[in-house]
Amino acid sequence: MTKLNLKLIALTALVLSVTSSVFAQPNTTLALEDSNQQVIDLSGMRWRFKMMAPGEGVKKGLHKLPAEDIETLVWNNAKVPGDVYTDLWKVGIIEDPHFGRNSVKAQWVQQYEWWYALQFSVTEDVENQLVDLVFEGVDYACEVWLNGHYLGKHEGVFSKFSFDVANFLRIHKYDFLKGRNMLVVKLDTPPQVNAFVAGKKTPWFGDYWRDITPIGIVRPVKLVRTGKIRFKDVYANNTINKDGSADVNLEITVENTNKVAKEFSFEAALNGKNFKMKEQKVSFKKTIQPGTHKVIQKIHLKEAKLWWPWDLGDQNLYTAKIAVKDGKLNQDVNETTFGIREVTSKWNPGFVKDVDVTFPRSTYINGKFHFIRSACWGGPPNIFVGRTETSDYKELIRLAKEMNMNNIRIFGWHPPEVPEFYQYCDEMGMTVWQDMIPLGTGNIPSDEKNLAEIFNEGVKVVVERRNHPSLIMMEGGEEMMFRTRDPKFGREFLERLGDSLQAYVDLPYVPDSPMTDHVGQQAGFKPKEAVHALRYFYDMGKWLHEDWYQTKADGYPIVPEFAITSVPSVESLKKFIPEEELWTPGLSWGHHWADLTRLRMQNWDVFGSEMKGSLEEFVNATQDAQGIIFQNGIEHFRRDKPSLSGIALCHYITYGPDMKWAIVDNYRKPKNSYYFVQKAYQPLLVNFEFKKRRWDTKEPFVGNIWVINDYYKSYEDCTVKFEMKDDSGKVIANKTFSIDKIEENSAKSFFPINEKVLKSVKSKFFVNLELTDKSGKVISKNDYFFLIGDQKEATKHFNAWKEERLKNENENGGYGSYYHFFKDFTGEDGQRYESQTQIPRASGF
């Protein structure tokens, strides 16, 4: 038997071995060591790249570069997976696009096509074998040549594509020149109108990014060799039975490239990936006609080990190893990791079907209610994928779990994630609620050809990810109904997309969120479908935050977005803001989406002060304000359980260093807000219900003590300690309450509070709660602070500030423009921007 042995040969004659990842392993029951399949990863730092004006690369013959030549020696170095901007930055052609306002200096990049090349050598024959060149993801459109042979063109970031290259490979066992190959990839100029490529490329706009469009070979490139029959897909579609057993239906898609039908032998084995079990094996034979066909084989597990979210149970994972043989020789092998779990949805109590809502919004995992404590992912970890490491995913998901999240929402402004993201979610018990492809716009092409391409992209995305038990809920769009010019068409499109996705995986699907705007209503959706809890921020000044969520964000079954902003730490700021612009805020703050007026207002709402005495004070206050507003809102929403079934904050991270939504910044550093959310997302949570944060010293302080329990475990003979302190730290109230039983999966008000103790408080006071079990162990803690003040007068002041904010925004650029923060740019008060030696400073500081 021959094996494909690829070696990359540097142009200096230094031989660099390509690391091969072969599925074959010794001492396995499937004898995988004699498999024909071999995967050679062509990723890494050995690529080179070059800039060309559109259309000029082909005219000048770059696609016909001789494979033996050394011309690419002087091209620029590149990394795959990666992106053009990172490669340009590393080589010194552009300045770091994340630093200061450098991104606007890089806008020229998207006006050119980029040529990537890789030279490698093949030393052994591949006769009677299939060799595919596989691209796992290119952003956005590309054309590919191997040794001058045109292989084809592809558009769409999220779908894999491949070319049969066995007949185009140059092979020689000893003469490296005769065995040298030249792979050339032309990246077209990226799209500039998102509506034309919606669902096939990540939107590159929104209020956390400026106008440069990502481009690059963003996922690995591989050479895959098999025999004449090969696996195209393996889906472990499982069913849980009432007796605790499970049936794993291995849906095996194979391609027989022979010209005649042949009988092949299949061998499959199931094992526990992270637990011990007796191996389950099955062998069978099937006659496969030429072409692609599906084979289904059921494996019965008498005692199934289920996969659960981390707060409901264990994360049991299985592996399925499958081989297909022609006689005694393996033609291909596949190893798939999966989990056994059942996902269903139910109607939220208190909402009437087809009157209030159109869709059930409560998620059940293996029959248990899964209250979703989530945040929108906001990723990838970096919009320039060349700056992201796999370890970033593991660290960010670990931090999310430690913040007590049990779900991550990938929403429609961001892409489906890399395999490692779902792998870590599987292993850590983090569920995923996903808009399967990014449709963060309402306007898409209406012709059937383009619609078919969008549907096809979505299907490829879900097929690649459906074995991951962490994927539990699918959504179609993200605020599509806000923007679509044709509500009826928009709804029909989203429903057709759902039909396409659910044909390949049995998971709950919702067309869009929130669907409660006037366009969504025109499309026939109902008034209580969901709420995007964003209006406090966008209408800043209309309500104090606790008045807002009690009046305008209340009474919905789910909260897909809840957004508050903050500024990263001073340590992080120094990595992307020039030193001379750090304080008082300079132009780079605005460029990185610091809404300076709203940040000041947000601080004032929470602290009664804008907190701008120093850079450190202001930064920390924005983070604390974000956290406190999140905490108060989360607890308010959670008290509506089970009528309300989930919350997703907006966002957990963002894909660039900015001053907007993230709880963990672009350098993977948690903000102060992280720890407030960590408290509010405790699965077992003692919390305080209050109606306002500003109190008169003459009135009693009133509220209610609640306990929310998301565990399926009850607690008996518990104690709650309630304590109030004034601004000097003196205890002004202290009470202890007994709870006979905290029911599993519950939310309940236990004790009213009415304390007439505020007369000694000067400006603020504090409330501490502690919940202990019958052994005295603390099982939940919480704390708050309140202000002495007049709620009505504070609201009046906030309302007036809103009018001032709107006037300044509308007259000087509108939302999205940061010029209105800088009088040098607007010309207010006679100020002018006349020289680059000027360093404009934000007004209001």
Mean pLDDT on 557-585? 97
State residue 28's pLDDT score: 32
- Angstrom distance (rounded) from CA 354 to CA 371: 23
The predicted-structure confidence for 131-175, as pLDDT tens digits, reads as follows 999 999 999 999 999 999 999 999 999 999 999 999 999 999 999
pLDDT for res 556: 96
367 - beta bridge partners?
A: none
Copy the structure tokens of residue 125: 């024959």
Over 90: is that where the pLDDT of 538 sits?
A: yes
44-79 CB burial, b ≥16 within 10 A, e <16: bebbbbbbbeeeebbeeebbebebeeeebeebbebb
Share of the chain above pLDDT 90, in %: 88
Strands 229-240 and 246-256 come out as antiparallel
Give me the pLDDT at residue 37, please.
Answer: 66
Cβ atoms within 10 Å of 177's Cβ, excluding its own: 11
pLDDT tens-digit series, residues 89-133:
999 999 999 999 999 999 999 999 999 999 999 888 888 899 999
pLDDT value of position 1: 37
What SS3 class is residue 620?
helix
Q: Is the pLDDT of residue 21 over 80?
A: no
**Residue 71, CB half-sphere, CA atoms under 13 Å: how many?**
15
Q: Which is it for the CA torsion 175, 176, 177, 181, positive or negative?
A: positive
Q: Which residue has the higher pLDDT, 16 or 250?
A: 250
Express each pLDDT in 68-92 by its tens digit: 999 999 999 999 999 999 999 999 9
Cis peptide before 253 (omega within 30 of 0): no
Mean pLDDT of 316-337: 94
pLDDT of residue 31: 46
Q: What is the mean pLDDT of residues 574-578?
A: 98
- 805-815 residue pLDDT tens: 999 999 999 89
276: left (phi over 0), alpha (psi -120 to 50) or beta: beta
- Helix, strand or coil for residue 522? helix
Please tell me the predicted confidence (pLDDT) of residue 126.
86
In tens, the pLDDT along 627-636 reads 999 999 999 9
**Is residue 103 classed as helix, strand or coil in its secondary structure?**
helix
Residues 821 and 599 sit within 8 Å (Cβ to Cβ): no
Residue 597: φ, ψ to 5°? -70, -50
**How many whole angstroms separate alpha carbon 459 and alpha carbon 469?**
17
Q: Is the pLDDT of residue 730 over 60?
A: yes
At 361, is the secondary structure helix, strand, or coil? coil
The helix (run of H) or strand (run of E) holding residue 300 is strand 291-301
pLDDT per position as a tens digit, 52-68? 999 999 999 999 999 99
Q: Quickly list H helices, 309-447.
A: 390-402, 419-428
Whether the predicted pLDDT of 490 surpasses 80: yes
HSE (side-chain half, CA atoms, 13 Å) at 484: 30
In whole angstroms, what separates CA 412 from the centre of its chain?
9
Buried b (16+ CB within 10 A) or exposed e, 399-430: bbbebbbbbbbbbbbbbbbbeebbbbbbbbbb
Could you give the percent of the chain with pLDDT greater than 70? 96
List, for residues 594-606, the tens digit of each pLDDT value. 999 999 999 999 9
- pLDDT of 551 strictly over 70: yes
Instruction: Tell me the per-residue pLDDT of 181-199, one tens digit each, with 9 for 90 and over.
Output: 999 999 999 999 998 999 9
Average pLDDT, the chain: 93
- pLDDT tens string 685-722: 999 999 999 999 999 999 999 999 999 999 999 999 99
Band of residue 36 on the pLDDT scale cut at 50, 70, 90: low
